[in-house]
């Protein structure tokens, strides 16, 4: 096991690893254990009692965090005609048609964080599906990134829309903001995403749904949250 740095070891002393903290207490600790010389991202990790190998136990969705993510998100919209102007007016960083697909295809250009496409552009998007997929950039109706309502889609992403999705190990990892937000704003974001994950519980999931809930900053130690209290409320 690699040796941890001095700052991490100092932060770890503040955390009782055997304790399950209340949300506000845990997030207050996150802000205290973040010792890096940059504004660290705060991550939420939830291990679920589901089997992702079964289609009926997939947990996936999107939610707009009330306080945003603290990250400037560059949005690319693929559309036609008036929808391009609509995207630009809504604040898209890049908007266009096949010429942008060719730029990605020929120049290996990925100067954006989220791609939104109108349904009539998905045939063209399919040409670059192999390069978009591994980067998590492929537009998808379930995440709201395939839509004719490009204005709403762009505004939601810019406002702090995040996608949560269970991985093969039955874990969801999602950012909930920056350390500079402070515990109160982080708690609001946490509760918004936690509520969404709880509501998304598959009917076929048996036993305990929230097996573990942990929050941490980019360079800080994991802090365990009492998941039972989240279900009870």
The pair of structure tokens assigned to 41 is 């991202």
At the second CATH level, the architecture of 75-158 is 3-Layer(aba) Sandwich (3.40)
Domain parsing of the chain, residue ranges: 6-69+161-225, 75-158
- Average model confidence (pLDDT) for the chain? 91
Q: Please write the tens of the pLDDT for every residue from 156-201.
A: 999 999 989 999 999 999 999 999 999 999 999 999 999 999 999 9
How far, in Å, CA of 127 to CA of 139, rounded? 13
Q: Is 216 helix (H, G, I), strand (E, B) or coil?
A: strand
Q: Look at residue 7 and tell me whether its pLDDT is greater than 60.
A: yes
Residue 64: CB atoms within 10 A of its CB come to 16
> What does the pLDDT average to over 122-140?
92
Report the relative pairing of strands 210-217 and 223-225 from DSSP bridges. antiparallel
CA distance 67 to 191: 12
Q: DSSP code of 96?
A: E
Q: Which pTM value belongs to this model?
A: 0.82
Torsion of CA 172, 177, 178, 181, to 10 degrees: -140
Tell which residue, 62, 168, 165, 48, has the closest CA to residue 116.
Answer: 62
Model pLDDT, residue 143:
87
Distance CA 164, CA 193 (A): 8
* Tens of pLDDT, residues 52-92: 999 999 999 999 999 999 989 999 999 999 999 999 999 99
> Which of 186, 193, 189 is CA-nearest to residue 210?
193
Predicted confidence at residue 169, as pLDDT, reads 95
Kindly report the CA angle at 117 between 111 and 123, in degrees rounded to 5?
A: 110
- Superfamily designation of domain 6-69+161-225: Ribosomal protein L1/L10, rRNA-binding domain (3.30.190.20)
d(CA 118, CA 147): 5
Quickly tell me which residue has 């996150």 as its tokens: 30
Residue 229: its pLDDT value, please?
Answer: 84
pLDDT above 60 for 2 = no
Convert the pLDDT of each residue in 200-211 to its tens digit. Answer: 999 988 889 999
Task: Convert the pLDDT of each residue in 9-55 to its tens digit.
Answer: 666 666 778 889 999 999 999 999 988 899 999 999 999 999 999 99
Are both 6-69+161-225 and 75-158 of the same fold? no
What DSSP designation does 16 have? Answer: -
């Amino acid at each position: 096991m690699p040796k941890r740095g001095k700052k991490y070891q100092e932060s770890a002393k503040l955390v009782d690893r055997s304790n399950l903290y209340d949300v506000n207490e845990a997030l207050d600790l996150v802000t205290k254990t973040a010792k890096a010389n940059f504004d660290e991202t705060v991550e939420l990790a939830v291990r679920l009692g589901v089997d992702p190998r079964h289609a009926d136990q997939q947990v996936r969705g999107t939610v707009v965090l009330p306080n945003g993510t603290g990250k400037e998100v560059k949005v690319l919209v693929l559309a036609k005609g008036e929808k391009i102007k609509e995207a630009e007016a809504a604040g898209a960083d890049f908007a266009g048609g096949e010429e942008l697909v060719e730029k990605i295809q020929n120049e290996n250009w990925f100067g954006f964080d989220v791609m939104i496409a109108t349904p009539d552009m998905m045939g063209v998007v399919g040409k670059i599906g192999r390069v978009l997929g591994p980067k998590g950039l492929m537009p998808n109706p379930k995440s709201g990134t395939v839509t004719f309502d490009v204005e709403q889609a762009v505004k939601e992403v810019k406002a702090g829309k995040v996608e949560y999705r269970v991985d093969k190990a039955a874990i969801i990892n999602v950012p909930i903001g920056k350390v500079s937000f402070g515990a109160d704003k982080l708690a609001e974001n946490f509760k918004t995403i936690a509520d969404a994950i709880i509501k998304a519980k598959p009917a076929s999931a048996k036993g305990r749904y929230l097996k573990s809930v942990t929050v941490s900053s980019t360079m800080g130690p994991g802090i365990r949250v009492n998941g039972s209290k989240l279900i009870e409320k």
